[in-house]
Amino acid sequence: MGECLRKTCPCLKTLWDRIYGSSTTDGENSVKADGDSTGAGLGNTKSDPYGQPAKAPQPPRKTAALHMALWDFEARDGRELSFKAGDMLEIVTSSGDWWSARKIDSYGSVATGFVPFNYLARAESVESQPWFFGKMSRVEALSHLKSAENDNGSFLVRISETSDIMGFVLSVKSQAKAKHFKIYHTSGQFYVDPSPQFASILEVVEYYQTHPLSTSDLLRQPCIRKRPQLQDLSPSTVDEWELPKDQFTLEKMLGGGHFADVYSGKWKNQTKVAIKILKNNDAVVQKDFQLEVQIMKRLRHRHLISLFAVCTSSAPFYIITELIEKGDLLNFLKNPEGSALDMESLIDMAAQVADGMAYLETHNSIHRDLAARNVLVGEGYVCKIADFGLARIIKEPVYISDDKKIPYKWTAPEAIGQGRYSSKSDVWSFGILLYEIVTYGAIPYPGVRNCDVYDLVTRENFRMPSPSNCPEVIYNIMRSCWRAEPEDRPTFKILRHELDKYQGN
Protein backbone atom coordinates (compact mmCIF):
# COMPACT_ATOMS: atom_id res chain seq x y z
CA MET A 1 0.00 0.00 0.00
CA GLY A 2 2.73 2.49 0.98
CA GLU A 3 4.73 1.57 -2.11
CA CYS A 4 1.62 2.16 -4.20
CA LEU A 5 1.20 5.57 -2.58
CA ARG A 6 4.68 6.67 -3.48
CA LYS A 7 4.19 5.43 -7.04
CA THR A 8 0.93 7.34 -7.49
CA CYS A 9 2.05 10.41 -5.56
CA PRO A 10 5.82 11.02 -5.48
CA CYS A 11 5.17 14.27 -3.59
CA LEU A 12 4.58 12.00 -0.58
CA LYS A 13 8.01 10.38 -0.84
CA THR A 14 9.77 12.97 1.30
CA LEU A 15 7.08 12.71 3.97
CA TRP A 16 7.14 8.93 3.84
CA ASP A 17 10.92 8.60 4.05
CA ARG A 18 11.06 11.16 6.86
CA ILE A 19 8.60 9.12 8.92
CA TYR A 20 9.57 5.55 8.04
CA GLY A 21 12.97 5.85 6.39
CA SER A 22 13.66 5.12 2.75
CA SER A 23 12.77 1.70 1.38
CA THR A 24 14.84 -0.46 -0.90
CA THR A 25 11.69 -1.77 -2.54
CA ASP A 26 9.95 1.32 -3.81
CA GLY A 27 10.84 0.70 -7.44
CA GLU A 28 11.67 4.35 -7.93
CA ASN A 29 13.74 3.49 -10.97
CA SER A 30 10.45 2.73 -12.68
CA VAL A 31 8.44 5.78 -11.60
CA LYS A 32 8.06 9.03 -13.45
CA ALA A 33 7.22 12.29 -11.75
CA ASP A 34 3.69 13.30 -10.77
CA GLY A 35 2.23 9.86 -10.28
CA ASP A 36 3.15 8.03 -13.47
CA SER A 37 3.77 4.51 -12.22
CA THR A 38 4.78 3.34 -15.63
CA GLY A 39 7.24 0.78 -14.41
CA ALA A 40 10.14 -1.03 -15.91
CA GLY A 41 10.69 -4.67 -16.75
CA LEU A 42 7.11 -5.74 -16.08
CA GLY A 43 5.89 -2.14 -15.82
CA ASN A 44 3.94 -1.08 -18.92
CA THR A 45 6.77 -1.25 -21.43
CA LYS A 46 4.40 -2.69 -23.98
CA SER A 47 5.31 -2.92 -27.63
CA ASP A 48 3.85 -0.11 -29.68
CA PRO A 49 2.08 -1.42 -32.82
CA TYR A 50 2.54 2.02 -34.41
CA GLY A 51 6.20 2.73 -33.62
CA GLN A 52 8.52 2.97 -30.66
CA PRO A 53 7.59 1.68 -27.20
CA ALA A 54 5.71 4.37 -25.28
CA LYS A 55 7.51 3.56 -22.05
CA ALA A 56 11.18 2.70 -22.34
CA PRO A 57 12.18 -0.43 -20.38
CA GLN A 58 14.61 -0.14 -17.51
CA PRO A 59 16.42 -2.90 -15.61
CA PRO A 60 14.45 -4.02 -12.54
CA ARG A 61 15.91 -3.29 -9.14
CA LYS A 62 17.13 -6.31 -7.20
CA THR A 63 15.69 -6.50 -3.70
CA ALA A 64 14.98 -9.00 -0.97
CA ALA A 65 12.33 -7.40 1.22
CA LEU A 66 9.59 -9.10 3.19
CA HIS A 67 6.04 -8.04 2.38
CA MET A 68 2.68 -9.14 3.75
CA ALA A 69 -0.30 -10.01 1.55
CA LEU A 70 -3.37 -7.91 2.34
CA TRP A 71 -5.84 -9.89 0.21
CA ASP A 72 -6.10 -13.35 -1.33
CA PHE A 73 -4.89 -13.69 -4.90
CA GLU A 74 -5.44 -16.70 -7.15
CA ALA A 75 -2.90 -17.24 -9.92
CA ARG A 76 -4.48 -17.36 -13.36
CA ASP A 77 -1.50 -18.75 -15.27
CA GLY A 78 1.91 -20.30 -14.67
CA ARG A 79 3.71 -16.97 -14.29
CA GLU A 80 1.62 -15.74 -11.36
CA LEU A 81 1.92 -16.76 -7.71
CA SER A 82 -1.12 -17.55 -5.54
CA PHE A 83 -1.24 -16.35 -1.95
CA LYS A 84 -3.61 -15.78 0.96
CA ALA A 85 -4.11 -12.66 3.07
CA GLY A 86 -1.49 -12.69 5.79
CA ASP A 87 1.08 -14.67 3.81
CA MET A 88 4.63 -13.35 3.89
CA LEU A 89 6.36 -12.91 0.54
CA GLU A 90 9.99 -12.12 -0.18
CA ILE A 91 10.15 -9.56 -2.96
CA VAL A 92 12.86 -10.44 -5.48
CA THR A 93 12.40 -7.55 -7.92
CA SER A 94 10.05 -4.58 -7.57
CA SER A 95 9.22 -2.67 -10.71
CA GLY A 96 6.00 -1.68 -12.39
CA ASP A 97 2.69 -3.19 -11.38
CA TRP A 98 3.77 -6.85 -11.10
CA TRP A 99 6.57 -7.82 -8.74
CA SER A 100 8.60 -10.99 -8.69
CA ALA A 101 8.14 -12.74 -5.33
CA ARG A 102 9.09 -15.89 -3.45
CA LYS A 103 6.84 -17.66 -0.95
CA ILE A 104 8.00 -20.31 1.54
CA ASP A 105 5.24 -22.36 3.17
CA SER A 106 5.28 -24.04 6.58
CA TYR A 107 6.73 -27.21 5.04
CA GLY A 108 9.68 -25.36 3.55
CA SER A 109 8.40 -25.55 -0.03
CA VAL A 110 9.39 -22.59 -2.18
CA ALA A 111 7.19 -21.09 -4.88
CA THR A 112 8.01 -18.11 -7.06
CA GLY A 113 6.03 -15.98 -9.47
CA PHE A 114 4.63 -12.55 -10.20
CA VAL A 115 2.25 -10.81 -7.80
CA PRO A 116 0.22 -7.56 -8.05
CA PHE A 117 2.15 -4.93 -6.08
CA ASN A 118 -0.97 -3.20 -4.72
CA TYR A 119 -2.04 -6.38 -2.88
CA LEU A 120 1.06 -6.16 -0.65
CA ALA A 121 2.52 -3.99 2.09
CA ARG A 122 5.88 -3.93 3.79
CA ALA A 123 5.84 -6.34 6.72
CA GLU A 124 5.48 -4.74 10.15
CA SER A 125 4.76 -1.30 8.69
CA VAL A 126 1.82 1.05 8.99
CA GLU A 127 0.84 0.09 5.43
CA SER A 128 0.19 -3.48 6.55
CA GLN A 129 -2.31 -2.44 9.22
CA PRO A 130 -5.97 -3.25 8.37
CA TRP A 131 -7.00 0.35 9.13
CA PHE A 132 -4.52 2.02 6.76
CA PHE A 133 -6.15 3.14 3.49
CA GLY A 134 -3.44 5.21 1.80
CA LYS A 135 -4.03 8.40 -0.15
CA MET A 136 -7.71 9.33 0.00
CA SER A 137 -9.99 12.37 0.19
CA ARG A 138 -12.41 12.91 3.06
CA VAL A 139 -15.38 12.24 0.77
CA GLU A 140 -13.92 8.92 -0.37
CA ALA A 141 -13.24 8.05 3.28
CA LEU A 142 -16.89 8.76 4.14
CA SER A 143 -18.01 6.60 1.23
CA HIS A 144 -16.07 3.67 2.69
CA LEU A 145 -17.11 4.28 6.30
CA LYS A 146 -20.83 4.72 5.70
CA SER A 147 -21.14 1.22 4.23
CA ALA A 148 -23.64 -0.89 6.19
CA GLU A 149 -20.84 -3.33 7.08
CA ASN A 150 -19.23 -0.65 9.24
CA ASP A 151 -20.68 0.26 12.64
CA ASN A 152 -20.24 3.51 14.55
CA GLY A 153 -16.65 3.80 15.69
CA SER A 154 -15.30 2.14 12.56
CA PHE A 155 -12.19 4.00 11.51
CA LEU A 156 -9.39 4.32 9.00
CA VAL A 157 -6.13 6.22 8.70
CA ARG A 158 -5.45 7.89 5.37
CA ILE A 159 -3.11 10.34 3.75
CA SER A 160 -5.01 13.49 2.90
CA GLU A 161 -5.48 14.10 -0.82
CA THR A 162 -5.68 17.82 -0.09
CA SER A 163 -2.50 19.34 -1.51
CA ASP A 164 -1.82 21.83 1.28
CA ILE A 165 -2.55 19.46 4.19
CA MET A 166 0.03 16.78 3.48
CA GLY A 167 -0.02 14.14 6.18
CA PHE A 168 -2.11 11.58 8.03
CA VAL A 169 -5.78 11.91 8.95
CA LEU A 170 -7.84 9.67 11.24
CA SER A 171 -11.43 9.31 9.95
CA VAL A 172 -14.09 7.82 12.23
CA LYS A 173 -17.70 6.84 11.48
CA SER A 174 -20.26 8.65 13.63
CA GLN A 175 -23.99 8.30 12.91
CA ALA A 176 -23.72 7.86 9.11
CA LYS A 177 -21.20 10.69 8.96
CA ALA A 178 -17.45 10.89 9.49
CA LYS A 179 -15.28 12.92 11.80
CA HIS A 180 -11.78 13.69 10.62
CA PHE A 181 -8.81 14.27 12.92
CA LYS A 182 -5.47 15.52 11.63
CA ILE A 183 -2.54 13.51 13.01
CA TYR A 184 0.27 15.98 13.58
CA HIS A 185 3.94 15.08 13.33
CA THR A 186 6.46 17.26 15.14
CA SER A 187 9.97 16.47 16.36
CA GLY A 188 9.48 12.77 15.77
CA GLN A 189 6.23 12.62 17.73
CA PHE A 190 2.68 11.95 16.49
CA TYR A 191 -0.44 13.35 18.12
CA VAL A 192 -4.06 14.39 17.58
CA ASP A 193 -4.25 16.63 20.66
CA PRO A 194 -1.10 18.30 21.99
CA SER A 195 -1.06 15.73 24.77
CA PRO A 196 -0.46 12.81 24.79
CA GLN A 197 2.15 12.30 22.07
CA PHE A 198 3.39 9.04 20.55
CA ALA A 199 6.36 7.59 18.72
CA SER A 200 4.30 6.10 15.86
CA ILE A 201 0.94 6.12 14.09
CA LEU A 202 0.32 2.63 15.47
CA GLU A 203 0.62 3.92 19.03
CA VAL A 204 -1.86 6.72 18.25
CA VAL A 205 -4.43 4.19 17.05
CA GLU A 206 -3.87 1.81 19.96
CA TYR A 207 -4.27 4.64 22.51
CA TYR A 208 -7.59 5.85 21.11
CA GLN A 209 -8.97 2.32 21.04
CA THR A 210 -9.08 2.60 24.86
CA HIS A 211 -9.41 6.38 25.34
CA PRO A 212 -12.16 8.58 23.82
CA LEU A 213 -11.08 10.74 20.90
CA SER A 214 -12.31 14.30 21.52
CA THR A 215 -16.12 14.29 21.20
CA SER A 216 -16.04 10.95 19.41
CA ASP A 217 -16.45 7.46 20.82
CA LEU A 218 -13.59 5.00 21.06
CA LEU A 219 -12.03 3.66 17.88
CA ARG A 220 -13.60 0.28 17.38
CA GLN A 221 -13.23 -1.94 14.31
CA PRO A 222 -11.13 -0.95 11.28
CA CYS A 223 -13.21 0.03 8.26
CA ILE A 224 -13.78 -2.83 5.83
CA ARG A 225 -11.12 -2.51 3.16
CA LYS A 226 -12.08 -3.42 -0.40
CA ARG A 227 -9.80 -5.37 -2.71
CA PRO A 228 -7.98 -2.98 -5.12
CA GLN A 229 -8.19 -3.17 -8.89
CA LEU A 230 -5.33 -4.77 -10.76
CA GLN A 231 -3.25 -2.12 -12.50
CA ASP A 232 -2.84 -4.25 -15.62
CA LEU A 233 -4.41 -7.41 -16.97
CA SER A 234 -1.55 -9.74 -16.02
CA PRO A 235 2.26 -10.02 -16.09
CA SER A 236 1.84 -11.90 -19.38
CA THR A 237 0.34 -8.84 -21.10
CA VAL A 238 2.49 -6.05 -19.69
CA ASP A 239 4.99 -6.14 -22.56
CA GLU A 240 2.31 -6.28 -25.27
CA TRP A 241 -0.26 -3.63 -26.08
CA GLU A 242 -1.77 -5.63 -28.96
CA LEU A 243 -3.91 -8.59 -27.84
CA PRO A 244 -6.14 -10.98 -29.81
CA LYS A 245 -9.75 -9.91 -29.96
CA ASP A 246 -10.99 -13.40 -29.11
CA GLN A 247 -9.57 -13.02 -25.58
CA PHE A 248 -12.33 -10.52 -24.83
CA THR A 249 -16.06 -11.10 -24.39
CA LEU A 250 -18.64 -8.32 -24.63
CA GLU A 251 -21.34 -8.01 -22.00
CA LYS A 252 -23.48 -4.92 -21.34
CA MET A 253 -23.47 -1.83 -23.57
CA LEU A 254 -22.54 1.14 -21.38
CA GLY A 255 -22.91 3.97 -23.87
CA GLY A 256 -22.37 5.07 -27.42
CA GLY A 257 -21.44 8.03 -29.54
CA HIS A 258 -20.95 9.01 -33.16
CA PHE A 259 -17.58 7.27 -33.46
CA ALA A 260 -17.63 4.43 -30.92
CA ASP A 261 -19.66 2.32 -28.51
CA VAL A 262 -18.49 1.23 -25.06
CA TYR A 263 -19.24 -2.15 -23.46
CA SER A 264 -18.41 -3.83 -20.21
CA GLY A 265 -16.69 -7.14 -20.78
CA LYS A 266 -14.11 -9.61 -19.57
CA TRP A 267 -10.62 -10.64 -20.51
CA LYS A 268 -10.34 -14.45 -20.69
CA ASN A 269 -13.66 -14.63 -18.82
CA GLN A 270 -11.84 -13.53 -15.64
CA THR A 271 -10.93 -9.84 -15.45
CA LYS A 272 -13.56 -7.13 -15.85
CA VAL A 273 -12.71 -4.49 -18.45
CA ALA A 274 -14.32 -1.76 -20.52
CA ILE A 275 -14.19 -2.20 -24.31
CA LYS A 276 -14.48 0.77 -26.66
CA ILE A 277 -15.37 -0.32 -30.21
CA LEU A 278 -14.91 1.96 -33.20
CA LYS A 279 -17.95 2.14 -35.45
CA ASN A 280 -16.00 2.59 -38.68
CA ASN A 281 -12.38 2.29 -39.71
CA ASP A 282 -11.72 4.77 -42.49
CA ALA A 283 -8.34 6.48 -42.67
CA VAL A 284 -9.38 9.53 -40.62
CA VAL A 285 -10.92 7.43 -37.84
CA GLN A 286 -7.86 5.16 -37.73
CA LYS A 287 -5.58 8.17 -37.40
CA ASP A 288 -7.65 9.55 -34.53
CA PHE A 289 -7.70 6.10 -32.94
CA GLN A 290 -3.91 5.85 -33.10
CA LEU A 291 -3.51 9.31 -31.57
CA GLU A 292 -5.87 8.41 -28.72
CA VAL A 293 -3.95 5.21 -28.02
CA GLN A 294 -0.62 7.01 -28.06
CA ILE A 295 -1.87 9.58 -25.54
CA MET A 296 -3.26 6.93 -23.19
CA LYS A 297 -0.07 4.86 -23.31
CA ARG A 298 1.99 7.75 -22.02
CA LEU A 299 -0.23 8.74 -19.12
CA ARG A 300 -0.75 6.97 -15.79
CA HIS A 301 -2.43 8.74 -12.87
CA ARG A 302 -4.97 8.03 -10.17
CA HIS A 303 -7.50 10.34 -11.84
CA LEU A 304 -7.01 9.24 -15.46
CA ILE A 305 -8.51 6.11 -17.01
CA SER A 306 -5.90 3.35 -17.49
CA LEU A 307 -5.30 1.73 -20.88
CA PHE A 308 -4.83 -2.07 -20.79
CA ALA A 309 -4.63 -3.12 -24.45
CA VAL A 310 -5.76 -2.59 -28.04
CA CYS A 311 -7.09 -4.97 -30.69
CA THR A 312 -6.26 -3.73 -34.21
CA SER A 313 -5.64 -6.90 -36.19
CA SER A 314 -9.12 -6.67 -37.74
CA ALA A 315 -12.05 -4.27 -37.86
CA PRO A 316 -13.69 -3.03 -35.73
CA PHE A 317 -10.82 -1.83 -33.55
CA TYR A 318 -10.97 -2.18 -29.76
CA ILE A 319 -9.54 -0.05 -26.95
CA ILE A 320 -9.42 -1.98 -23.66
CA THR A 321 -9.40 0.02 -20.42
CA GLU A 322 -10.16 -0.48 -16.75
CA LEU A 323 -13.87 -0.73 -15.94
CA ILE A 324 -15.20 2.10 -13.76
CA GLU A 325 -18.28 0.99 -11.85
CA LYS A 326 -20.67 3.94 -11.70
CA GLY A 327 -20.39 5.17 -15.29
CA ASP A 328 -20.01 8.71 -16.56
CA LEU A 329 -20.28 11.68 -14.25
CA LEU A 330 -23.07 13.40 -16.19
CA ASN A 331 -25.52 10.51 -15.84
CA PHE A 332 -24.30 9.76 -12.32
CA LEU A 333 -25.18 13.29 -11.17
CA LYS A 334 -28.71 12.83 -12.49
CA ASN A 335 -29.38 9.47 -10.86
CA PRO A 336 -30.66 9.11 -7.26
CA GLU A 337 -27.22 8.39 -5.80
CA GLY A 338 -25.53 11.35 -7.45
CA SER A 339 -28.38 13.79 -6.87
CA ALA A 340 -28.22 13.02 -3.13
CA LEU A 341 -24.60 14.19 -2.79
CA ASP A 342 -23.90 17.33 -0.77
CA MET A 343 -21.84 20.28 -2.00
CA GLU A 344 -18.67 19.06 -0.28
CA SER A 345 -18.86 15.78 -2.19
CA LEU A 346 -19.47 17.60 -5.46
CA ILE A 347 -16.47 19.88 -4.96
CA ASP A 348 -14.35 16.86 -4.04
CA MET A 349 -15.17 15.39 -7.45
CA ALA A 350 -14.21 18.64 -9.14
CA ALA A 351 -10.93 18.70 -7.21
CA GLN A 352 -10.13 15.18 -8.41
CA VAL A 353 -10.67 16.21 -12.02
CA ALA A 354 -8.47 19.27 -11.48
CA ASP A 355 -5.79 16.96 -10.06
CA GLY A 356 -5.88 14.75 -13.15
CA MET A 357 -5.80 17.78 -15.44
CA ALA A 358 -2.85 19.24 -13.50
CA TYR A 359 -1.01 16.01 -14.30
CA LEU A 360 -1.82 16.45 -18.01
CA GLU A 361 -0.71 20.07 -17.77
CA THR A 362 2.72 19.11 -16.42
CA HIS A 363 3.07 16.48 -19.17
CA ASN A 364 2.39 18.95 -22.01
CA SER A 365 -0.90 17.27 -22.86
CA ILE A 366 -4.28 18.82 -23.61
CA HIS A 367 -7.63 17.04 -23.51
CA ARG A 368 -9.80 19.31 -25.72
CA ASP A 369 -13.06 17.60 -24.71
CA LEU A 370 -13.29 18.01 -20.94
CA ALA A 371 -16.92 17.62 -19.83
CA ALA A 372 -18.93 15.65 -17.29
CA ARG A 373 -19.80 13.08 -19.96
CA ASN A 374 -16.07 12.29 -20.29
CA VAL A 375 -15.37 11.77 -16.58
CA LEU A 376 -16.03 8.36 -15.02
CA VAL A 377 -17.06 7.70 -11.41
CA GLY A 378 -15.81 4.67 -9.50
CA GLU A 379 -16.10 3.16 -6.03
CA GLY A 380 -15.78 5.77 -3.30
CA TYR A 381 -16.68 8.47 -5.84
CA VAL A 382 -13.18 8.38 -7.30
CA CYS A 383 -13.28 10.31 -10.58
CA LYS A 384 -11.19 9.49 -13.65
CA ILE A 385 -10.87 11.54 -16.82
CA ALA A 386 -11.62 9.49 -19.93
CA ASP A 387 -12.20 9.79 -23.69
CA PHE A 388 -8.90 11.02 -25.07
CA GLY A 389 -10.10 10.99 -28.68
CA LEU A 390 -9.31 14.70 -29.13
CA ALA A 391 -6.34 14.82 -26.76
CA ARG A 392 -2.90 15.85 -28.00
CA ILE A 393 0.65 16.03 -26.69
CA ILE A 394 1.94 19.50 -27.56
CA LYS A 395 5.46 20.81 -28.09
CA GLU A 396 4.42 24.46 -28.16
CA PRO A 397 2.21 26.33 -25.68
CA VAL A 398 -0.58 26.47 -28.26
CA TYR A 399 -1.84 23.71 -30.55
CA ILE A 400 -3.46 24.91 -33.79
CA SER A 401 -6.27 22.81 -35.24
CA ASP A 402 -9.07 23.36 -37.72
CA ASP A 403 -10.95 20.41 -36.25
CA LYS A 404 -14.69 20.83 -36.78
CA LYS A 405 -15.68 18.37 -34.04
CA ILE A 406 -16.21 21.12 -31.49
CA PRO A 407 -18.39 20.78 -28.38
CA TYR A 408 -19.34 24.47 -28.56
CA LYS A 409 -20.76 24.93 -25.07
CA TRP A 410 -17.60 23.53 -23.47
CA THR A 411 -14.97 25.04 -25.78
CA ALA A 412 -12.98 28.22 -25.15
CA PRO A 413 -13.67 31.10 -27.56
CA GLU A 414 -10.09 31.20 -28.90
CA ALA A 415 -10.40 27.50 -29.79
CA ILE A 416 -13.72 28.01 -31.59
CA GLY A 417 -12.76 31.19 -33.41
CA GLN A 418 -9.07 30.64 -34.11
CA GLY A 419 -8.47 26.92 -33.55
CA ARG A 420 -6.02 27.74 -30.70
CA TYR A 421 -5.96 24.99 -28.05
CA SER A 422 -3.87 24.95 -24.89
CA SER A 423 -4.04 23.98 -21.25
CA LYS A 424 -5.82 27.30 -20.74
CA SER A 425 -8.57 26.32 -23.19
CA ASP A 426 -8.95 23.15 -21.10
CA VAL A 427 -9.28 25.43 -18.06
CA TRP A 428 -12.24 27.17 -19.75
CA SER A 429 -13.84 23.75 -20.26
CA PHE A 430 -13.19 22.91 -16.62
CA GLY A 431 -15.23 25.96 -15.62
CA ILE A 432 -18.14 24.55 -17.64
CA LEU A 433 -17.60 21.13 -16.04
CA LEU A 434 -17.69 22.78 -12.61
CA TYR A 435 -21.05 24.34 -13.58
CA GLU A 436 -22.32 20.88 -14.58
CA ILE A 437 -21.20 19.42 -11.26
CA VAL A 438 -22.79 21.99 -8.94
CA THR A 439 -26.05 21.87 -10.95
CA TYR A 440 -26.20 18.05 -10.86
CA GLY A 441 -25.79 17.75 -14.61
CA ALA A 442 -27.67 20.76 -15.98
CA ILE A 443 -27.03 21.77 -19.60
CA PRO A 444 -24.69 24.80 -19.85
CA TYR A 445 -26.12 27.99 -21.36
CA PRO A 446 -29.72 26.78 -20.95
CA GLY A 447 -31.96 27.85 -23.81
CA VAL A 448 -29.02 28.93 -26.02
CA ARG A 449 -28.30 27.10 -29.28
CA ASN A 450 -24.80 25.67 -29.76
CA CYS A 451 -24.17 27.89 -32.75
CA ASP A 452 -25.03 31.04 -30.77
CA VAL A 453 -22.70 30.45 -27.81
CA TYR A 454 -19.57 31.89 -29.44
CA ASP A 455 -21.18 35.23 -30.31
CA LEU A 456 -22.83 35.42 -26.91
CA VAL A 457 -19.51 34.92 -25.11
CA THR A 458 -17.28 37.05 -27.35
CA ARG A 459 -19.45 39.92 -28.64
CA GLU A 460 -21.73 40.32 -25.63
CA ASN A 461 -19.15 39.17 -23.07
CA PHE A 462 -21.83 36.97 -21.50
CA ARG A 463 -20.98 34.59 -18.68
CA MET A 464 -23.44 32.21 -17.06
CA PRO A 465 -24.81 33.51 -13.75
CA SER A 466 -24.15 31.69 -10.51
CA PRO A 467 -26.28 28.53 -10.17
CA SER A 468 -28.66 28.44 -7.24
CA ASN A 469 -27.07 27.13 -4.02
CA CYS A 470 -23.59 27.49 -5.50
CA PRO A 471 -21.10 28.85 -2.92
CA GLU A 472 -19.72 32.23 -3.92
CA VAL A 473 -16.12 31.00 -3.77
CA ILE A 474 -16.93 28.21 -6.24
CA TYR A 475 -18.66 30.59 -8.64
CA ASN A 476 -15.63 32.88 -8.46
CA ILE A 477 -13.48 29.91 -9.50
CA MET A 478 -15.80 29.31 -12.47
CA ARG A 479 -15.52 32.93 -13.53
CA SER A 480 -11.73 32.81 -13.29
CA CYS A 481 -11.83 29.90 -15.78
CA TRP A 482 -13.89 32.03 -18.19
CA ARG A 483 -11.62 35.03 -18.43
CA ALA A 484 -11.40 36.29 -22.00
CA GLU A 485 -7.61 36.17 -22.26
CA PRO A 486 -6.18 32.64 -21.86
CA GLU A 487 -3.11 33.89 -19.97
CA ASP A 488 -5.39 35.42 -17.32
CA ARG A 489 -6.95 32.07 -16.44
CA PRO A 490 -5.53 30.01 -13.56
CA THR A 491 -3.50 26.85 -14.04
CA PHE A 492 -4.95 23.51 -13.00
CA LYS A 493 -2.46 23.40 -10.14
CA ILE A 494 -3.94 26.63 -8.81
CA LEU A 495 -7.49 25.38 -9.39
CA ARG A 496 -6.76 22.24 -7.41
CA HIS A 497 -5.37 24.32 -4.56
CA GLU A 498 -8.40 26.63 -4.53
CA LEU A 499 -10.82 23.69 -4.46
CA ASP A 500 -8.78 22.06 -1.70
CA LYS A 501 -9.16 25.16 0.46
CA TYR A 502 -12.94 24.80 0.22
CA GLN A 503 -12.84 21.15 1.30
CA GLY A 504 -10.51 21.02 4.27
CA ASN A 505 -8.65 17.78 5.00
Mapping DSSP onto H, E and C, the string for 413-453 reads: HHHHHHCEECHHHHHHHHHHHHHHHHCCCCCCCCCCCHHHH
Other beta carbons within 10 Å of 24: 13
Exposed e or buried b for every residue in 477-494, given b needs 16+ CB within 10 A? bbebbbbeebeebbbbbe
User: Per-residue pLDDT tens for 213-236?
Assistant: 876 678 999 999 888 888 788 888
Is 409 marked as binding a ligand?
no
Query: What is the domain partition of the chain in residue ranges?
Result: 2-127, 131-208, 245-321, 329-503
User: Per-residue pLDDT tens for 255-291?
Assistant: 877 778 999 999 999 899 999 998 876 776 777 788 8
* Alpha carbon 462 to its chain's center: 34
Annotated active-site residue in 26, 34, 348, 369: 369
Which residues are CB-neighbours of 446 under 8 A, at least 6 positions away?
A: none
Mind giving me the DSSP string for 283-308? HHHHHHHHHHHHHHHH---TTBPPEE
pTM of the model: 0.79
Helix (H, G, I), strand (E, B) or coil at 12: helix
Beta strand pairing call for 375-377 and 120-122: unpaired
188 burial (CB, 10 Å; 0-12 / 13-18 / 19+) is exposed
Which residues are CB-neighbours of 135 under 8 A, at least 6 positions away?
A: 5, 8, 9, 12, 158, 159, 161, 302
3 burial (CB, 10 Å; 0-12 / 13-18 / 19+) is buried
In CATH, which of 3.40.50.12780, 1.25.40.10, 3.30.950.10, 1.10.510.10 is domain 329-503? 1.10.510.10
Percent of the chain at pLDDT > 90 equals 56
Which helix (H) or strand (E) segment holds residue 353: the answer is helix 343-362
Confirm if 433 and 357 have CB atoms less than 8 A apart: no
User: Identical fold at 2-127 and 245-321?
Assistant: no
CATH class of the domain comprising 131-208: alpha beta
Decide if 355 is catalytic: no
User: Per-residue pLDDT tens for 87-98?
Assistant: 999 999 888 889
* Position 371 pLDDT exceeds 70: yes
* Position 4 pLDDT exceeds 70: no
Which residues are CB-neighbours of 109 under 8 A, at least 6 positions away?
A: none
In CATH, which of 3.30.200.20, 3.90.226.10, 2.120.10.60, 3.50.50.60 is domain 245-321? 3.30.200.20
* Alpha carbon 468 to its chain's center: 30
Using alpha carbons, select from 137, 129, 113, 298 the residue that is nearest to residue 209.
129
Which residues are CB-neighbours of 119 under 8 A, at least 6 positions away?
A: 69, 70, 71, 73, 83, 227, 228
Least confident of 19-28, 342-351, 442-451: 19-28
* pLDDT at position 227: 87
* Alpha carbon 223 to its chain's center: 21
Q: How far apart are CA 247 and CA 249, in angstroms?
A: 7
Least confident of 24-28, 110-114, 122-126, 490-494: 24-28
* pLDDT at position 96: 81
Confirm if 138 and 122 have CB atoms less than 8 A apart: no
Superfamily of domain 2-127: SH3 Domains (2.30.30.40)
* pLDDT at position 55: 39
User: Per-residue pLDDT tens for 98-131?
Assistant: 999 999 777 777 889 999 999 999 988 899 999 9
pLDDT level of residue 59 (50, 70, 90 thresholds)? very low
* pLDDT at position 491: 97
